[in-house]
């Protein structure tokens, strides 16, 4: 739980209970081979807790289009209407495959921020991300090469390059990135899933991950930005649609695909509330 001092004890308690309920519900499906059932259970449990919660919330980062229940869909309103007006970023189950296969690392996560302060990545599902702790502020730059950023971060942290650990999602699209990082001498930690928990670890000073690099989910990126903001860390992002169809859709939605998004762009308020609960 991060940022609890910005909101009432009643709302903080409800948000904590929402992630715990979702984690417990998904945990009943842990290792049972049915990720859709686990996701549906987590969504239903989280919604049940959030509907009467003391706030007026609108889901900005959720399941996207509202196709079939149960979902926490973009534009859905949650809360009793009593209390602060908030944007909601939510992923009741980050790491569905991990739960399906009985592997560690999945979490239930939610973030709140004042209404109108979360970046809305309409129609773009992937983002190139660069995430680290406070020491990286003014040091790292998404426009620089991965090798250059590793060398810069090593100098800022006061340790050799070969002691820098970079977390990268284990995806075919990252082959060149991984090769470059290993060529410069950095350690590469491959993650099968779990965008959010890995990024939060990287933003935490003194953790065993120094920086996150590579392309992951845009919704997870905005969720992560809330945690990074609360931790005082560093983050930059750039929308990265995959394939010509996604590029055309992103451009039609009015996105600038060359723009580097700062932490202020991703969440423009310090009044963030972030909570996650492990699923096991």
Mean of the per-residue pLDDT values of the chain: 94
Q: What is the pLDDT of residue 69?
A: 44
Q: Establish if 43 belongs to a structural domain.
A: yes
My answer on whether 87 and 163 are in the same domain is: no
Q: How confident is the model at residue 201 (pLDDT cuts 50, 70, 90)?
A: very high
My answer on whether 146 and 249 are in the same domain is: yes
CA distance 122 to 198: 24
Q: What is the pLDDT of residue 64?
A: 61
Give the pLDDT confidence of 128-141 residue by residue, as tens digits: 999 999 999 999 99
CB atoms within 10 A of CB 73: 16
Q: How confident is the model at residue 66 (pLDDT cuts 50, 70, 90)?
A: very low
Is a pLDDT exceeding 60 seen at residue 51? yes
Q: Establish if 268 belongs to a structural domain.
A: no
Chosen domain end from 114, 134, 154: 114
My answer on whether 147 and 256 are in the same domain is: yes
Range with the poorest average pLDDT among 4-8, 20-24, 63-67, 194-198: 63-67
Domain hosting residue 38, numbered range: 4-114
User: Residue 43's domain is classified under what CATH number?
Assistant: 3.30.540.10
My answer on whether 213 and 158 are in the same domain is: yes
Q: Establish if 231 belongs to a structural domain.
A: yes
My answer on whether 106 and 146 are in the same domain is: no
Q: Establish if 170 belongs to a structural domain.
A: yes
Share of the chain above pLDDT 90, in %: 88
My answer on whether 73 and 159 are in the same domain is: no
- Pick the closest to residue 46 from 11, 78, 3 (CA basis): 78
CA distance 199 to 229: 12
Q: Establish if 272 belongs to a structural domain.
A: no
Give the pLDDT confidence of 120-170 residue by residue, as tens digits: 998 899 999 999 999 999 999 999 999 999 999 999 999 999 999 999 999
Share of the chain above pLDDT 70, in %: 97
Sheet bearing 234-239, strands edge to edge: 187-191, 165-169, 211-217, 126-132, 234-239
Q: Establish if 245 belongs to a structural domain.
A: yes
My answer on whether 56 and 175 are in the same domain is: no
Chosen domain end from 72, 87, 114: 114
User: Residue 150's domain is classified under what CATH number?
Assistant: 3.40.190.90
My answer on whether 105 and 144 are in the same domain is: no
Three state DSSP letters for 178-234 = HHHHHHHCCEEEEECCCHHHHHHHHHCCCCCCCEEEEEEEHHHHHHHHHHHHHHCCE
My answer on whether 139 and 250 are in the same domain is: yes
My answer on whether 107 and 132 are in the same domain is: no
My answer on whether 76 and 130 are in the same domain is: no
Pairing mode, if any, of strands 126-132 and 165-169?
unpaired
Is a pLDDT exceeding 70 seen at residue 65? no
Q: What is the pLDDT of residue 70?
A: 56
CA-atom Rg of the chain in angstroms = 18
Q: Establish if 190 belongs to a structural domain.
A: yes
State how many domains the chain has: 2
- Pick the closest to residue 131 from 42, 58, 226, 5 (CA basis): 226
My answer on whether 12 and 106 are in the same domain is: yes
More confident residue, 112 or 69: 112
Averaged pLDDT, 186-201 = 90
Q: Establish if 266 belongs to a structural domain.
A: no
Is a pLDDT exceeding 60 seen at residue 259? yes
Averaged pLDDT, 233-237 = 98
């Amino acid at each position: 739980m991060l940022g609890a001092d910005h909101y009432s004890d009643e709302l903080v308690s409800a948000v904590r209970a929402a992630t715990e309920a979702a984690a417990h519900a998904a945990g009943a499906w842990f290792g049972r081979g049915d990720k859709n059932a686990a996701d549906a259970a987590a969504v239903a449990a989280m919604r049940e807790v959030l509907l009467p919660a003391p706030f007026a919330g609108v889901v900005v980062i959720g399941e996207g289009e509202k196709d079939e229940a149960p979902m926490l869909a973009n534009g859905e309103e949650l809360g009793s209407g009593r209390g602060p007006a908030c944007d909601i970023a939510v992923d009741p189950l980050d790491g569905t495959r991990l739960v399906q296969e009985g592997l560690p690392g999945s979490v239930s996560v939610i973030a709140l921020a004042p209404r109108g302060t979360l970046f809305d990545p309409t129609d773009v599902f992937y983002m190139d991300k660069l995430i680290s702790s406070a020491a990286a502020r003014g040091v790292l730059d998404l426009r620089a090469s991965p090798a250059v950023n590793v060398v810069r971060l090593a100098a800022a942290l006061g340790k050799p390059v070969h002691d820098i650990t970079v977390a990268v999602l284990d995806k075919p699209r990252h082959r060149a990135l991984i090769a470059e990082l290993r060529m410069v001498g950095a350690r590469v930690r491959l993650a099968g899933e779990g965008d959010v928990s890995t990024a939060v670890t990287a933003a935490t000073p003194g953790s065993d991950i120094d920086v996150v690099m590579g392309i992951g989910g845009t919704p997870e990126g905005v969720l992560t930005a809330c945690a990074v903001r609360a931790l005082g860390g560093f983050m930059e992002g750039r929308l990265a649609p995959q394939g010509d169809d996604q590029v055309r859709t992103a451009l039609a939605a009015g996105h600038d695909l060359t723009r580097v998004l700062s932490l202020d762009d991703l969440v423009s308020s310090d009044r963030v509330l972030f909570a996650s609960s492990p699923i096991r």
